[in-house]
């Protein structure tokens, strides 16, 4: 998962590392957690970049999914993480059913591209708050789905419209 919206990046690296989620980012976390719950996603471990915005995303989403463990921190998901460190992180949790790893672009989309092509030939766009499900039992890994907050809002919006239309038809048919 890419961290949710934390507003405008700061020029100072030390200050940028402490940049927190803004209200829209917190809303994205809740929306994406509801989407993951609807998809029956089970999380056994939550791992985050050491940057504040990623840790907050991991905590909010993990909590909403019912994860009661501690969010683990890994530099492999940080801005300076590299692909071999990321693979080492995944192998560390190989026995787990579901891993929620929260990090940053461009690392995440590059890692994802390398995982699903074996050579990095894919370009995967991950907006803030996006989450991808990757099946690591295949080689190369298999991208099952990728959902971003815009798509999740559209799905929920359509479901609400559909439910309202059905309810109003039901009421009129009872008269």
Q: Which two tokens stand for residue 48?
A: 């985050």
For the four alpha carbons of 91, 36, 78 and 48, in that order, the dihedral sign comes to: negative
pLDDT tens digits along 143-171 = 999 999 999 999 877 766 665 555 555 55
The reply to whether 77 falls in a domain is: yes
- What torsion, rounded to 10 degrees, do the Cα atoms 122, 127, 130, 135 define? 0
pLDDT tens digits along 51-60 = 999 999 999 9
Which CATH number do you get for residue 51? 3.40.50.1240
The reply to whether 115 falls in a domain is: yes
Tally the domains of the chain: 1
Q: Find where tokens 């919006």 sit.
A: 157
The reply to whether 162 falls in a domain is: no
Structural domain for 97, as ranges: 13-148
Other C-beta atoms lying within 10 Å of the C-beta of residue 45: 19
């Amino acid at each position: 998962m890419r961290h949710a919206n934390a507003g405008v990046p700061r020029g100072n690296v030390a200050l940028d590392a402490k940049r927190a989620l803004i209200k829209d980012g917190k809303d994205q976390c809740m929306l994406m957690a509801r989407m993951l719950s609807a998809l029956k996603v089970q999380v056994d471990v939550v791992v985050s970049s050491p940057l504040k915005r990623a840790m907050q995303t991991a905590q909010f989403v993990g909590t909403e999914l019912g994860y009661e463990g501690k969010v683990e921190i890994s530099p492999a998901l940080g801005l300076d993480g590299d692909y071999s460190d990321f693979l080492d992180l995944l192998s560390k949790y190989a026995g787990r059913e579901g891993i929620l790893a929260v990090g940053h672009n461009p690392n995440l989309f590059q890692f994802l591209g390398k995982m699903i092509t074996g050579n990095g030939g894919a370009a995967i766009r991950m907006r803030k708050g996006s989450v991808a499900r990757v099946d690591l039992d295949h080689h190369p890994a298999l991208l099952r789905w990728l959902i971003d907050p815009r798509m999740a809002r559209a799905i929920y919006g359509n479901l609400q419209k559909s439910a309202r239309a059905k309810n109003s038809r039901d009421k009129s048919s009872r008269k």
